[in-house]
Amino acid sequence: MIKINKKSFVIAWLLILVFCSQAQAQTLFATDRVNFRAAPSLDATINETLSKGTRVTETERLANGWSAVLINGTSGFISNQFLSTTPPRVDMYTQDGVNFRSAPIINPTNIKRVLPLGARVIETERLADGWSAVLVGDETGYIRTEFLSEQPPAQKKYTLVKVNLRTDPSTDSPDTIIKTLPAGTIVEEYIRLNEGWSLVGVDGIRGYIFNEHIGSKEAYDNSLKTAKSSSKPASSSSAPASETVRSSSTTTIHEIAASGVELVDWKTVKANKLFPTGVNALVTDVWTGKQYYVRSFSNGNHADVEPVTKSDTETMKSTYGGTWSWDTRPIWVTINGHTYAASINGMPHGGGVISGNGMDGQICLHFRGSLTHNGNRSHENSHQASVTAAWNAANR
């Protein structure tokens, strides 16, 4: 007869159970908002309610339709009908101007760009440490979860010009026009799309308007002042409704923050020669506070500039972590005693006129309403988001 050591038998079974538990553990994702409970029962205490897309570790799948899971080291139970091996994709909207980052950590070097309030993103995974993995177009990155919501924030805006309200974000057909709104119409902006359109509501009707033609009350008041000073009405029944995306703003914008930073449109910059070619301008990088000088040599759809000296080039490059990049950054640019909210990218291209500055090429500097040379709307929107970020930073 074989004698079995009871203690050894128990240890062996415990090891088997641990091994099986580890072998069965898998990463799953909540497919909807779901309760994380203390026991596998609908009557059990709710530890917390998980958001759609929350990552959990399933340690055991029970026969009664429940799964034992771990979340941040806490054990509990979830009805497994709400769990999947594939993370759900959730349409989310930014609830403030927010940094879109290359990694889920707060570091000034990993900021790809600033997304405006109401920007639509796709949340692909909700991480356990307060971050969300998201898609912006085809680009992957990370945003703090606290700045995202499934509900788009509504903002009170004013139409700056006479503009068409449409059923779809497209000008392909006149059949999509719901109505034409006169300048000064109050609308609620729900979503700002990447293609230059906004979903808005007016008098209980929802539709789409080009977002360059709506703005704050201050922006509308400034447009009226400009119209009066030029003896032209703010809108005319004979004037066509405005909705051309790729054109500099037809409305003069000039706002001044308490800090002294000014928000001015590119049309005004050119018309009043606020940034003459050949003049040095002091650039202050909003995120790092570093400063360097640039000089404009061409003012077309935007300002084409170059760092003035080799030291300026080195400082500018350092704001990009030492590597040139097409990413845009919010800046304040000081010219002839005035400081303006603007945007700059960090990739030398084309030709330049300054020799010995340590950079071969030119850099694009954008103001409110300026355009790219090649019609790249995604890059235009990125520059405009950075101009907005610079303006918002000046008002904090």
386 plus 260 within the same structural domain: yes
Domain final position from 67, 84, 101: 84
**CA–CA separation, 390 and 284 (whole Å):** 10
Mean predicted confidence (pLDDT) in 205-228: 77
Domain final position from 49, 84, 119: 84
Give me the pLDDT at residue 226, please.
Answer: 55
Identify whether 235 is part of a domain.
no
17 plus 76 within the same structural domain: yes
Number of domains in the chain: 4
Q: For residue 42, which amino acid is it?
A: L
Domain housing 305: 254-394
| Tokens 């301008």 found at | 281
Identify whether 242 is part of a domain.
no
Identify whether 383 is part of a domain.
yes
269 plus 390 within the same structural domain: yes
Name the nearest CA neighbour of 262 among 247, 280, 250, 274.
274
260 plus 347 within the same structural domain: yes
221 plus 333 within the same structural domain: no
Domain final position from 149, 174, 198: 149
Q: How confident is the model at residue 252 (pLDDT cuts 50, 70, 90)?
A: low
Task: Name the H helices within 233-376.
Answer: 266-271, 310-318
Distance from the first to the final alpha carbon of the chain: 84
120 plus 184 within the same structural domain: no
Q: What tens digit of pLDDT does each residue of 312-346 get?
A: 999 999 999 888 888 899 999 999 889 999 999 99
* DSSP string covering 138-197: TEEEEEEGGGEESSPPPEEEEESS-EEEESSS--S-GGGEEEEEPTT-EEEEEEE-TTSE
pTM greater than the 0.75 cutoff:
no
Q: Quick one: tokens of 241?
A: 């409704």
**CA–CA separation, 236 and 200 (whole Å):** 23
Name the nearest CA neighbour of 145 among 157, 160, 158, 129.
129
369 plus 260 within the same structural domain: yes
SS3 305: strand
Give me the pLDDT at residue 135, please.
Answer: 92
289 plus 369 within the same structural domain: yes
Q: Tell me the Cα Rg of the chain.
A: 27
**CA–CA separation, 148 and 95 (whole Å):** 6
Which residues make Cβ contacts (< 8 Å) with residue 302, sequence separation at least 6?
266, 364, 365, 366, 367, 370, 371, 372, 373, 383
Q: What tens digit of pLDDT does each residue of 38-68 get?
A: 999 999 999 988 877 888 999 999 988 999 9
Mean predicted confidence (pLDDT) in 25-30: 89
280 plus 336 within the same structural domain: yes
What's the CATH code of the domain at 217?
2.30.30.40
Give me the pLDDT at residue 253, please.
Answer: 59
Identify whether 236 is part of a domain.
no
What's the CATH code of the domain at 331?
2.30.110
Go through 141-153 and write b for each residue having 16 or more CB atoms within 10 A of its CB, e for each that does not.
Answer: bbbebebbeeebb
More confident residue, 235 or 169: 169
